[in-house]
Amino acid sequence: MTINFVRRMAWTLLAVTSCVQAKPLVLSSIKPLTLIAQEIVGDSAAVDTLLPITASPHDYPLKVSDYTRLQKADVVLWVGPELESFLQKPLTNLSASRRITAYELPGLHWPPDESHEGGEHHHERDPHLWLDPRNAIVVAQALSEKLTQIDMTNKAIYAVNLQVFVAKMHALDINLTEKLKPLAGRGFAVYHEGYGHFVSHYGLHQLDYVTFTPEQKPGAKHLHQLREVLLKEGSCLFLEPYYELQSARDLAQELNLQLGVLDALGSQNVSSYTQLLERMAEAFSHCLAHGSSE
């Protein structure tokens, strides 16, 4: 047996051992899903986010490097084509066993259908499902089950992390319910129609939206209707940190509305899912009860 042969065998064994010990990789489409995933994987798996924090999940041009990342991931966690339509075709090339489509998970809580005038297109259901902590639990459960299938060694860790997360979500939900209860009758409008899960679950009084999707400019007719409804019972208009719409600011000034900022994607120094929802609650509380949050 030659020295070179022994070396080759040693390197082969090292490579096999490295593969066995490599942590599973969870690739989520957007930061809110990453925040949920981090709670479940702990140190037993790696989590990465596909979209840059400033990118819109509604319309993102995938780069060649993004396709490579999708192929390398053990689990791809996304909402679904209702939100990230650009991912629908690329994900057909991945095995179903490597995908979690949150929009299709059983047990999700959906806000009741609400119709707004203006003739704009609507999703069948609001895809911003992570804004309800009960849905975060559903997503976390699905991820825990998926990771257990591909990483039995850490099955107990994923199970314990899930239990801890569920307990945290129940406590968070109770806290936010109490905090937001006094705001139930105060009317407001949001920049785009993406907060139905949060608004509905916590009984807030959304009057309308400026635009249905961020990529769609509001029409003159819709802005007129928005102005009328806000004039009657509006107290606050919420913008978003990743879009600038001067017409919305002008409308707020004209109607003497407070301006607030809602960050559904956690783009502004948000490090946990709990913090994401707490900051949203703070934004509502500050704007509706105490004045501008800017």
Q: Considering the chain, tell me which residue range(s) the CATH 3.40.50.1980 domain(s) occupy.
A: 23-174, 179-290
| Tens digit of pLDDT at every position of the chain (294 positions) | 555 554 455 445 444 444 455 899 999 999 999 999 999 999 999 999 999 988 888 779 999 999 999 999 999 999 999 999 999 999 998 999 999 999 999 999 999 864 443 334 445 799 999 999 999 999 999 999 999 999 999 999 999 999 999 999 999 999 999 999 999 989 999 988 899 999 999 999 999 988 776 666 777 787 888 888 898 889 999 998 877 677 778 888 888 899 999 999 998 889 999 999 999 999 999 999 864 444
Decide if 25 contacts 46 (C-beta within 8 A).
yes
Decide if 283 contacts 237 (C-beta within 8 A).
no
Residue 75 DSSP code: E
Beta bridge partners of 211: 192
The confidence score (pLDDT) of residue 84 equals: 95
AA identity, residue 3: I
Calpha distance 106→101 (Å, rounded): 11
Check: pTM over 0.75? Answer yes or no: yes
- The fold adopted by the segment(s) 179-290 is Rossmann fold (3.40.50)
Which residues 6+ apart lie within 8 Å of 23 measured at CB? 44, 45, 46
- The fold adopted by the segment(s) 23-174 is Rossmann fold (3.40.50)
The confidence score (pLDDT) of residue 57 equals: 86
AA identity, residue 105: L
